């Protein structure tokens, strides 16, 4: 059977059961207005449901009864016994048909017309009397049914007098026995409270047992008890829970009807129906949600033509979703309509006298949007049948707040509106983490916790950004909130970070003194004066019997100034952006401040680690900087600015084989970037520049870096060869290391190796006569002043000149 | 009309609490503070498996916050929540006829907010405490 149909049958039957008393009372006092209203509402509801469930018979019956009752309500007719009987006969038939729908029986319909005719003024009374007799019995049966004897209900039909052929013909087939029962919610509440107390008592007992060191037998017995209590608690908790689906099933139909009525095209998406929520909460949210959805279609989503003009898809998109976030259930209604223009709203509020002109000018955008919740403000330009009658968002908000919820609004004019109902999960048992600060314990819902890290751990680095504390956890930047500071307590060294998730995916790290236990806690709503602090989600009694407050992680973030709403609002966009970036080949890039103060970036993959070194371990040898790391010399490259501090931070990079270090000032961030550089025109450490987060960032030319840092030490065969023609101790001990350090392979005789690229010989020496034709010759003279045989000779201790020459020839060879 | 009232001493002032609100009178000791709460919220106290919000009447009247230690509190039920209203002393439950009358003399700022009127008990005028207002505290939380 169709879900909707099933719902209808169940609902009709339930209402009938509830109504049976009313029917009896109405019969006794036909003038009783409230009874009449209750019955009228029932037939009206049945009529409405039948309309869209396509049940013409039921509709006809209920419609006729409704008409008559409407007349009575409008005092056009007096409720005489005949009329009462006729109405009751119709109601009986409705019940019969509802049962028939469920069990698939066929109920003959020939006397429907008779029942309807009986409703007319001056209908034949004898029949009515007969009906009345039948009714008296039926009513008696209903009374018995109320006491729980279902069999009797199905026998109503059988016992009806013979002059009602259709009814008599209806077989008293076995009615599908309902496997559900209805319980008053306060009974469930009492059970829940009882179980909560039981959990507390168990916890207390557990503590006592631990303290007294009970025997293992006792412990086994206690474990069993504990297990039973846990199961029972789960079961009872479940009794109060229902899937949000119950709330969502009516939406498709409603959206279809409302949009058809308004001539709009709406595509409805529903998400998260399997989220469970307190049954009572679901009922409380039903009306607000209905209202919000209607509003979204009526005011939000534009007519098709307007949408086309605005460049949007013809069909408006309406997304309704539910999800659990921490100790809250979030129900979101997002549309891509015209949104709410906060300024227009202000205009209306001013016009309606809700707001003064001067005050209006001082409001922020968010505050202006909040005006939608003020009584008597509607965004509809004209009142339509669907909404815009002034019973609006103020009622929605009031209803949601009554159950301790919140309504958030986020509007982007022209792009859409997002309304979020945040409903708490109170009076429930939630797994929580207890933490402490300033000697006080607090609980945090475990579902809100992403991870717990210790400050000072390997993957964690603290820092500040514009005065705000941040922490890098495995390279990801997370804002830090000091719980001690938020609560105004004296923190005694907050050594732990609890990373919390906010709605929308934003995260922050809560600095606390100590992390204690994971516990299952019974959370109850705190008094309004306590809730008004905005940072607590409820109170709880842990097994030490000292009340503890449950922190509202979103409230704490808000109080600390972590911009929750902004983040939540931009988050989906950001996620998309990230995906988009990923598609475009974005890679994580390390942004850093270079020694010359310029912001530069380098692909993170090239950076092996970031290390702090003493400047003393940097040596300037053979024209290049080298860094002594653990006894090894690693080439150190920098942008050229001198290293001024006693300590230098270096990026250690590896191209797979070779290693080098690049000196920097500080690390800024790691961001995903699709690298698209405006290429630098001159070769150098900078490959090019691009905008990262609206700032120009120079990217290191990794190729150049490695070429620069390691180029002097390529494989033997690729190194330029330098022939040192004088094989004397000075050449071997003094000159050779310098030349070698500049990246040359040294030979001492032309026949030792390949053709030399450069020949260095003592000025005036003639031992080697042009060994290689192409080779350049560098002559060194003994004395600084003397300009001897060759005018272009260098003094042999002219280090600068010498290295410059070596480099010049090296470059020439490499080029 | 014949209503029951509990005579208590609050901040040195004899006053009446409507007995309909009052559940019991208990000694309370170990109070867990609530950081960031308004000053008249002294903290939370566990009464068996229930959590009371303890209201510091002296602070609510603009006085100093109470320190730690054993205190006497009247347990009241307001809007489904339990509160412990600190009192100096509990005297008696009395039945007083009639509706409270308005006071003629101006009251101190604190009392003006929490007093609903004056009732005469055996010739002694007693202030009738507005329990809900006392719990809401000196600051208008709604504003």
- The CATH number of whichever domain residue A550 belongs to comes to 2.40.50.180
| Cβ–Cβ contact A398 with B under 8 A | no
Say yes or no for a CB contact (<8 Å) between B41 and A488: no
Same domain, A24 and A87: yes
Same domain, A252 and A234: no
Same domain, A803 and A779: yes
Q: Tell me what pLDDT residue A764 has.
A: 64
In eight-state DSSP terms, residue A756 is: -
Instruction: Tell me the pLDDT of chain B averaged across its residues.
Output: 82
Residues A378-400: what's their mean pLDDT? 56
Residue B21 within any structural domain of the chain: yes
Contacts of B33 in chain A (CB under 8 A): 440
Q: Tell me what pLDDT residue B83 has.
A: 92
- CA–CA separation, A200 vs A209, rounded Å? 14
Contacts of B34 in chain A (CB under 8 A): 530, 533, 536, 549
Distance from CA of B38 to the nearest CA of A (A): 8
Residue A580 confidence (pLDDT) above 50: no
Nearest to B67 by CA among B81, B50, B54, B49: B54
A702's CB contacts (< 8 A; 6+ apart) are A602, A603, A606, A653, A655, A687
Region of poorest pLDDT, from A375-384, A593-602, A771-780, B73-82: A375-384
User: Which token pair is A262?
Assistant: 């308004």
Taking CA atoms, what residue in B is nearest to A540?
B51
Same domain, A219 and A298: no
Contacts of B47 in chain A (CB under 8 A): none
**CA geometry: angle A306, A312, A317, nearest 5 deg:** 100
**Predicted confidence band at B142 (pLDDT cuts at 50, 70, 90)?**
very low
Same domain, A554 and A491: yes
User: Which token pair is A46?
Assistant: 């049945």
Stronger pLDDT, A774 or A279, i.e. the higher one: A279
Residue B143 within any structural domain of the chain: no
Residue pair A524/A463 in contact (Cβ under 8 Å)? The answer is no
Contacts of B43 in chain A (CB under 8 A): 547
In eight-state DSSP terms, residue A731 is: I
Residue A389 confidence (pLDDT) above 50: no
Q: Which of B40, B51, B83 to mutate to test the interface with A (most CBs of A within 10 A)?
A: B51
Q: Which of B28, B32, B35 to mutate to test the interface with A (most CBs of A within 10 A)?
A: B35
Contacts of A536 in chain B (CB under 8 A): 34
Same domain, A702 and A728: no
Specify which of A47-51, A252-256, A454-458, A638-642 reaches the highest per-range mean pLDDT.
A252-256
Residues B102-115: what's their mean pLDDT? 75
Residue A781 within any structural domain of the chain: yes
Residues A351-372: what's their mean pLDDT? 73
Say yes or no for a CB contact (<8 Å) between B38 and A535: no
Residue B101 within any structural domain of the chain: yes
Percent of chain A with pLDDT over 70: 75
Burial class (CB in 10 A: 0-12, 13-18, 19+), A527: buried
Which helix (H) or strand (E) segment holds residue A133: the answer is helix A125-146
What is the extent of the structural domain holding B12?
A: 2-135
- CA–CA separation, A637 vs A623, rounded Å? 11
**Which tens digits make up the pLDDT trace of A13-36?**
777 776 766 776 777 777 777 777
Contacts of A429 in chain B (CB under 8 A): none
Residue A518 confidence (pLDDT) above 50: yes
Instruction: Tell me the pLDDT of chain A averaged across its residues.
Output: 73
Say yes or no for a CB contact (<8 Å) between B44 and A533: no
Burial class (CB in 10 A: 0-12, 13-18, 19+), A672: middle
Residue B93 within any structural domain of the chain: yes
Specify which of A435-444, A632-641, A651-660 reaches the highest per-range mean pLDDT.
A435-444
- Domain of A414, CATH number, reads 3.30.565.10
**Which tens digits make up the pLDDT trace of A723-757?**
887 777 788 777 887 787 777 778 887 777 777 77
Nearest to A323 by CA among A311, A314, A332, A315: A332
Residue pair A599/A591 in contact (Cβ under 8 Å)? The answer is yes
Name the residue facing A533 among B36, B49, B79 (closest C-beta).
Answer: B36
Stronger pLDDT, A146 or A244, i.e. the higher one: A244
Nearest to A91 by CA among A5, A197, A17, A150: A17
Same domain, A36 and A155: yes
Name the residue facing B41 among A524, A530, A547 (closest C-beta).
Answer: A530
If DSSP states are collapsed to H, E and C, what string results for chain B? CEEEEEEEEECCEEEEEECCCEEEEEEECCCECCCCCCCCEEEEEEECCEEEEEECHHHHCCCCCCCCCCEEEEEEEECCEEEEEEECEEEEEEEEECCCECCCCCCCHHHHHHEEEEEEECCEEEEEECHHHHHHCCCCCCC
Name the residue facing A529 among B38, B48, B82 (closest C-beta).
Answer: B38
Residue B142 within any structural domain of the chain: no
Name the residue facing B49 among A487, A529, A541 (closest C-beta).
Answer: A541
Residue A431 within any structural domain of the chain: no
Same domain, A271 and A414: yes
Residues A614-633: what's their mean pLDDT? 73
Domain boundary, last residue among A218, A241, A264: A241
Say yes or no for a CB contact (<8 Å) between A546 and B46: yes
What is the extent of the structural domain holding A211?
A: 185-241
Residue A441 within any structural domain of the chain: no
- CA–CA separation, B51 vs A577, rounded Å? 47
Distance from CA of B37 to the nearest CA of A (A): 6
Q: Tell me what pLDDT residue B77 has.
A: 87
Region of poorest pLDDT, from A22-36, A120-134, A311-325, A548-562: A120-134
- DSSP 3-state of A109: coil
- DSSP 3-state of A671: strand
Strand partners for A724: A760
| C-alpha distances out from residue B51 to A542, B44, B75, Å | 11, 6, 11
Residues A350-378: what's their mean pLDDT? 72
CB atoms within 10 A of CB A591: 20
Q: Tell me what pLDDT residue B74 has.
A: 92
Strand order in the sheet with B81-87: B22-28, B71-78, B81-87, B50-55, B41-47
Q: Tell me what pLDDT residue A503 has.
A: 54
Same domain, A30 and A163: yes
**Predicted confidence band at A814 (pLDDT cuts at 50, 70, 90)?**
low
The structure tokens 């009896």 sit at A24
Domain boundary, last residue among A545, A569, A593: A569
Same domain, A131 and A214: no
Specify which of A108-122, A434-448, A670-684, A730-744 reaches the highest per-range mean pLDDT.
A434-448
Sort strands A449-454 and A460-465 into parallel, antiparallel or unpaired: unpaired
Residue A101 confidence (pLDDT) above 70: yes
- CA–CA separation, A515 vs A191, rounded Å? 33
- CA–CA separation, B4 vs B21, rounded Å? 10
- CA–CA separation, A84 vs A68, rounded Å? 10
Region of poorest pLDDT, from A146-155, A214-223, A439-448, A783-792: A146-155
Name the residue facing A487 among B36, B51, B137 (closest C-beta).
Answer: B36
Region of poorest pLDDT, from A442-446, A467-471, B75-79: A467-471
Residue A453 confidence (pLDDT) above 60: yes
Same domain, A750 and A771: yes
Which helix (H) or strand (E) segment holds residue A722: the answer is strand A721-724
| Cβ–Cβ contact A525 with B under 8 A | yes
Contacts of A197 in chain B (CB under 8 A): 48-49
- CA–CA separation, A351 vs A357, rounded Å? 9
Q: Tell me what pLDDT residue A50 has.
A: 73
How many distinct structural domains can be found in chain B? 1
Nearest to A335 by CA among A282, A265, A272, A406: A265
Q: ipTM of this model?
A: 0.86
Residue pair A310/A303 in contact (Cβ under 8 Å)? The answer is no
Taking CA atoms, what residue in B is nearest to A194?
B49
How many distinct structural domains can be found in chain A? 6
Residue A307 within any structural domain of the chain: yes
Chain center to CA of A595: 39
- Domain of B19, CATH number, reads 2.40.50.180
- CA–CA separation, A336 vs A334, rounded Å? 7
Same domain, A16 and A150: yes
**Predicted confidence band at A172 (pLDDT cuts at 50, 70, 90)?**
very low
Taking CA atoms, what residue in A is nearest to B48?
A545
Residue pair A366/A564 in contact (Cβ under 8 Å)? The answer is no
- DSSP 3-state of A658: coil
Domain boundary, last residue among A193, A220, A241: A241
Residue B92 within any structural domain of the chain: yes
Q: Tell me what pLDDT residue A584 has.
A: 57
Distance from CA of A299 to the nearest CA of B (A): 30
**CA geometry: angle B135, B136, B141, nearest 5 deg:** 160
Q: Which of B29, B43, B49, B134 to mutate to test the interface with A (most CBs of A within 10 A)?
A: B49
Residues A646-669: what's their mean pLDDT? 78
Name the residue facing B36 among A196, A535, A541 (closest C-beta).
Answer: A535
- Domain of A22, CATH number, reads 1.20.120.160
If DSSP states are collapsed to H, E and C, what string results for A351-399? HCCCCCHHHHHHCCHHHHHHHHHCCCCCCCCCCCCCCCCCCCHHHHHHH
Contacts of A544 in chain B (CB under 8 A): none
Distance from CA of A190 to the nearest CA of B (A): 13
Q: Tell me what pLDDT residue A150 has.
A: 40
Residue B56 within any structural domain of the chain: yes
Residue A360 within any structural domain of the chain: no
Range A469-473 contact pairs with CB under 8 angstroms and sequence separation of 24 or more: A469/A511, A471/A497, A471/A509, A472/A670, A473/A497, A473/A499, A473/A509
Q: Tell me what pLDDT residue A672 has.
A: 73
Within 532-571 of A, beta carbons closer than 8 Å to B belong to 532-533, 535-536, 539-541, 545-549, 559
User: Which token pair is A645?
Assistant: 């501090």
**Which tens digits make up the pLDDT trace of A150-169?**
433 333 333 333 344 433 33
User: Which token pair is B138?
Assistant: 């000196």
Burial class (CB in 10 A: 0-12, 13-18, 19+), A646: exposed
- DSSP 3-state of A739: helix
Residue A131 within any structural domain of the chain: yes
Distance from CA of A323 to the nearest CA of B (A): 28
User: Which token pair is A346?
Assistant: 């202000």
Contacts of B60 in chain A (CB under 8 A): none
Residue B140 within any structural domain of the chain: no
Residue A815 confidence (pLDDT) above 60: no
Residue B60 confidence (pLDDT) above 50: yes
CB atoms within 10 A of CB A630: 6
Which helix (H) or strand (E) segment holds residue A418: the answer is strand A416-424
- CA–CA separation, A478 vs A481, rounded Å? 10
Residue A114 within any structural domain of the chain: yes
| C-alpha distances out from residue B119 to A570, B7, B21, B127, Å | 59, 11, 17, 6
């Amino acid at each position: 059977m169709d879900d909707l149909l099933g719902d209808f049958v169940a609902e009709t039957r339930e209402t009938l059961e509830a109504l049976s008393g009313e029917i009896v009372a109405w019969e006794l006092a036909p003038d009783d207005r409230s009874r009449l209203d209750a019955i009228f509402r029932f037939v009206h509801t049945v009529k409405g449901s039948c309309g869209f469930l396509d049940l013409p018979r039921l509709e006809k019956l209920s419609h006729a009864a409704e008409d008559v009752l409407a007349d009575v309500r409008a005092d056009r007719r007096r409720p005489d016994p005949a009329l009462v009987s006729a109405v009751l006969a119709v109601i009986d038939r409705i019940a019969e048909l509802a049962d028939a729908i469920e069990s698939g029986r066929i109920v003959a319909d020939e006397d429907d017309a008779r029942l309807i005719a009986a409703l007319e003024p001056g209908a034949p009374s004898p029949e009515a009397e007969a009906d009345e007799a039948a009714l008296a019995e039926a009513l008696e049966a209903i009374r018995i049914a109320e006491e729980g004897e279902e069999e009797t209900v199905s026998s109503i039909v059988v016992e009806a007098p013979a002059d009602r052929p259709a009814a008599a013909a209806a077989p008293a087939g076995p009615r599908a026995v309902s496997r559900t029962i209805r319980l008053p919610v306060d009974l469930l509440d009492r059970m829940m409270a009882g179980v909560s107390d039981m959990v507390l008592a168990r916890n207390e007992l557990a503590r006592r047992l631990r303290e007294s060191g009970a025997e293992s037998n006792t412990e086994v017995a206690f474990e069993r008890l504990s297990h039973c209590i846990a199961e029972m608690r789960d079961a009872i908790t479940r009794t109060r829970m229902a899937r949000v689906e119950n709330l969502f099933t009516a939406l498709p139909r409603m959206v279809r009807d409302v949009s058809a009525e308004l001539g709009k095209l709406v595509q409805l998406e529903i998400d998260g129906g399997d989220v469970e929520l307190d049954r009572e909460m679901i009922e409380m949210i039903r009306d607000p949600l209905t209202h919000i959805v209607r509003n979204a279609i009526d005011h939000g989503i534009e007519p098709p033509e307007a949408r086309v003009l605005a460049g949007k898809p013809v069909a408006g998109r309406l997304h309704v979703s539910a999800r659990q976030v921490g100790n809250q259930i979030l129900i979101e209604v997002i549309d891509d309509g015209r949104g709410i223009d906060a300024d227009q709203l202000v205009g209306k509020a001013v016009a309606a006298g809700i707001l003064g002109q001067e005050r209006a000018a001082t409001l922020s955008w968010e505050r202006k949007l909040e005006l939608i919740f003020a009584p008597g403000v509607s965004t509809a330009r004209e009142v339509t049948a669907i909404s815009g009658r002034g019973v609006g968002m103020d009622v929605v908000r009031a209803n949601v707040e009554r159950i301790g919820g919140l309504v958030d609004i986020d509007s982007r004019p022209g792009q859409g509106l997002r309304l979020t109902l945040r409903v708490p999960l109170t009076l429930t048992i939630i797994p929580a983490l207890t933490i402490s600060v300033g000697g006080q314990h607090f609980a945090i819902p475990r579902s809100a916790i992403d991870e717990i890290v210790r400050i000072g751990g390997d993957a964690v680095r603290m820092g500040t950004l514009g005065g705000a504390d941040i922490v890098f956890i495995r390279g990801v930047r997370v804002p830090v909130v000091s719980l001690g500071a938020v609560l105004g307590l004296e923190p005694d060294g907050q050594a732990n970070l609890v990373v919390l998730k906010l709605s929308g995916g934003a995260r922050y790290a809560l600095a606390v003194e100590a992390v204690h236990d994971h516990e299952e806690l019974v959370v109850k709503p705190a008094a309004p004066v306590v809730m008004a602090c905005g940072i607590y989600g409820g109170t709880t009694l842990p097994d030490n019997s000292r009340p503890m407050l449950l922190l509202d992680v979103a409230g704490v973030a808000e109080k600390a100034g972590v911009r929750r709403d902004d983040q939540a609002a931009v988050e989906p966009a950001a996620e998309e952006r990230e995906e988009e970036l990923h598609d475009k080949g974005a890679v994580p890039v390390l942004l850093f401040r270079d020694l010359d103060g310029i912001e530069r970036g380098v692909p993170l993959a090239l950076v092996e680690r970031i290390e702090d070194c003493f400047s003393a371990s940097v040596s300037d040898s053979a024209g290049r900087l080298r860094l002594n790391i653990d006894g090894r010399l690693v080439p150190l490259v920098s942008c050229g600015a001198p290293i001024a501090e006693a300590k230098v931070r270096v990026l250690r990079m590896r191209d797979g084989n070779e290693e080098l270090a690049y000196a920097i000032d500080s690390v800024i961030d790691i961001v995903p970037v699709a690298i698209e550089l405006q290429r630098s025109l001159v070769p150098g450490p900078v490959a090019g520049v691009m905008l990262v987060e609206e700032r120009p960032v120079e990217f290191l030319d990794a190729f150049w870096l490695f070429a620069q840092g390691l180029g002097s030490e390529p494989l033997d065969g690729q190194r330029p060869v330098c022939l040192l023609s004088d094989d004397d101790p000075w050449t071997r001990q003094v000159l050779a290391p310098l030349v070698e350090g500049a990246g040359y392979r040294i030979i001492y005789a032309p026949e030792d190796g390949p053709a030399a690229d450069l020949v260095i010989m003592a000025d005036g020496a003639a031992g080697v006569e042009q060994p290689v034709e192409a080779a350049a010759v560098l002559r060194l003279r003994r004395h600084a002043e003397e300009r001897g045989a060759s005018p272009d000779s260098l003094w042999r201790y002219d280090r600068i000149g010498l290295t410059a020459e070596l480099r010049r020839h090296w470059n020439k060879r490499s080029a | 009309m014949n209503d029951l009232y509990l005579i208590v001493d609050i901040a040195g002032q004899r006053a009446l609490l409507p007995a309909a609100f009052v559940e019991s009178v208990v000694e309370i000791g170990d109070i867990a503070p609530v950081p960031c709460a308004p000053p008249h919220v002294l903290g939370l106290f566990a009464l068996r498996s229930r959590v009371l919000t303890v209201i510091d009447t002296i602070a609510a009247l603009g006085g100093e916050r109470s320190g730690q230690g054993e205190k006497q509190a009247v347990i009241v039920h307001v809007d489904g929540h339990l509160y412990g209203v600190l009192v100096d002393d509990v005297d008696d439950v009395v039945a007083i006829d009639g509706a409270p009358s308005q006071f003629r003399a101006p009251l101190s700022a604190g009392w003006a907010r929490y007093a609903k009127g004056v009732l005469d008990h055996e010739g002694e005028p007693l202030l009738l405490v507005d329990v809900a207002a006392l719990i809401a505290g000196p600051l208008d939380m709604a504003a």
